[in-house]
Amino acid sequence: MATPEPERALIRRVSPFAVPAALLAYVIGAAFGGADAGWSAVIAVVLVYLNFVANALSISWAASVSPTLVSIVALGGYVVRLIIYTVALVLLNQVPWFSPVAFAPTLVPAIVGLLIFEAKALSGRMQADLWTFDGAGRP
């Protein structure tokens, strides 16, 4: 039986926490700044989750092609995520009810929390051990 790609397995492990994290963000944001701040915090959590899923799926695809492409997609994905967060903040700041004061302080802990979760889930395993490449090792 083949094991699933580690990225897809990680998506399955993270996904159950997405809705509770968004609810917690709403409650904390609403407690400090009202409903608009709560929704702004939810947007930050959703954005982090969707970026995580997109990145994991793209790395999973890259792993099916070549090890070099994994590196390219991983580094490019990092840059793309930073651009997406910045563009989202600039565009959402045009919406009257959006609160950047709630969005930014939620975005950073959501990213850090997700990174800690990923590190814990993958700890003890070498990155190279997580992927297999068809034809690798054959002359």
Domain around 39: 6-121
- pTM for the model: 0.82
Task: Judge whether 127 lies within some domain.
Answer: no
Q: For 54-88, what is each residue's pLDDT tens digit?
A: 999 999 899 888 889 988 998 998 899 999 999 99
Residue 132 lies in a domain: no
Instruction: Give the chain's domain count.
Output: 1
Q: What is the per-residue burial (b if ≥16 Cβ within 10 Å, else e) of 107-135?
A: beebbeebeeebeeeeeeeeeeebbeeee
Collapse the DSSP code of 39 into the 3-class scheme (helix H, G, I; strand E, B; otherwise coil) and give the result.
Answer: helix
pLDDT digits (tens, 9 = 90+) for 17-41: 999 999 999 999 999 999 999 999 9
126, part of any domain = no
Structural domain includes residue 106: yes
Please give the Cα distance from 35 to 47 (Å, whole number): 18
Distance CA 49, CA 19 (A): 10
Q: Is residue 108 assigned to a domain?
A: yes
